[in-house]
Amino acid sequence: MSTRDSGPELVDWDLAARTGKRLAGSGPQVNAMEAQETVAELHRFASKAEGYVQEVTGLDGSAVVAPVMVVDRGGWVTANTESLRTVVAPLTEKIHEARQGRSFGPLDYIGPKATGMETGAFLAFIAGRVLGQFDPFYNGANAAAESGRLLLVAPNVVHVERELDVVPRDFRLWVCLHEETHRVQFTAVPWLREHLKAEIKEFVASTQVDASVLTANVREVLQALIRAVRGEGDGLNLLDVLQTPEQKAIVKRVTALMSLLEGHADVVMDRVGPEVIPTVDTIRRRFQQRRRGNSGVDRAVRRVLGMEAKMRQYRDGAAFVNAVVELVGMDGFNRIWESAETLPTPGEIAEPRQWVDRVHGSAA
């Protein structure tokens, strides 16, 4: 029996999508020809970037299909509500099973609407800022052949390149290099997608669904799951109190994985070099200044949503990747993709030499 047949979902996802699309806005003004050219160029650069990523990393993801989709902000919101709905479905089913046949009352249907509006507002905020994203939970029409999808948010790319006053061609290829690296990570390392799914499944399995606790904390449990999926966490908060020790360990492992993936992509986009992207140094410098130069209100919102922790993932992950490559080269670094056991632990992200000693031996 599906969740929709057995009772209300934890989130009114349709309301979340409508709210998110309404609040996200359309982005910068462009005419029809500019819009078509931007979409075509992002598709072309995403395809071109695959070769550069393979050259830098030694990873070949061409055997697995993961489509590239250029979307507007509303399209990004829709895609993410679809993915989050898939991720949260096992938790919803577990909660419904715990009710042991008890009927649903009006409050059971009001709560999902409130959470849907909150989720929509959260997605709208991100939709106005994200340049691209690899969605590993997507299954297309041919689920057996497809493994995720790459989303590029065209209006945000145009907005940022104008704000930074950089060469559009260079900036678009630079963005595609980062996002294409994520696509290659999951297509060249097929077990990675299933590993992430398994971590989420374990998180759900260890979630307490006692009715007396759940009634007051369902929203917090849901948010904890979403944060775990995205590898986000920022200090002690209510979610830390609600999470079991098993869940805290999962969040730490997923955070380490996300730091690895983000840092790896950041390193690749800069290692391609000025022979491919002539203004890469200018782009990186201005992009970093933009990250640091947000208003106090914007930084406060980012902290609340866990996005400051995301920025640390870029920094810490890139430092880890650069340090390991310096010690054992890119081929030695690529042993990281052999299995879940060779992924870095949270402690190893901070101390790259520990990973090298564990995987390569202390003589490396």
Least confident segment among 28-37, 244-253, 325-334, 341-350 = 244-253
- Tell me the pLDDT of the chain averaged across its residues: 82
Residue where the block lists tokens 């969740």: 3
Give mean pLDDT, residues 318-347: 95
Q: Is the pLDDT of residue 266 over 70?
A: yes
- Of 207 and 136, the structure prediction assigns the larger pLDDT to 136
In degrees, rounded to 5, the angle at the alpha carbon of residue 310 between the alpha carbons of residues 306 and 311 is: 120
pLDDT one-digit tens code per residue, 52-110: 999 999 999 888 888 999 999 999 999 999 988 888 877 777 776 766 666 655 556 67
Q: What are residue 94's DSSP bridge partners?
A: none
Q: Which two tokens stand for residue 201?
A: 């499944």
pLDDT (0 to 100) of residue 294: 57
Whether 165 shows a pLDDT value over 90: the answer reads: yes
Q: Per-residue b/e over 257-281, b at no fewer than 16 CB within 10 Å?
A: bbbbbbbbbbbbbbbbeeebbebbe
Measured in whole angstroms, the distance separating CA 47 from the mean position of its chain's CA atoms is 21
List the alpha helices (DSSP H) in 149-190.
Answer: 154-164, 168-188
Taking the C-alpha atoms of residue 207 and residue 192, their distance in angstroms, rounded to an integer, is 23
pLDDT in tens, 342-358: 999 999 999 999 999 99
Label the pairing between strands 149-153 and 132-135.
antiparallel
Q: Which carries the bigger pLDDT value, residue 165 or residue 98?
A: 165
Q: How confident is the model at residue 162 (pLDDT cuts 50, 70, 90)?
A: very high
Q: Are 44 and 145 in contact (CB under 8 A)?
A: no
For each of the domains in the chain, give its residue range(s) and CATH number, in order of start.
3-258 (1.20.150.30)
User: Which DSSP helix (H) or strand (E) runs through 192?
Assistant: helix 191-205
Q: How far apart are CA 288 and CA 244, in angstroms?
A: 36
The C-alpha atoms of residue 250 and residue 199 are separated, in whole angstroms, by: 7
- The closest alpha carbon to 88, from 257, 207, 245, belongs to 207
Residue-wise pLDDT tens digits, 220-240:
555 555 555 555 544 434 345
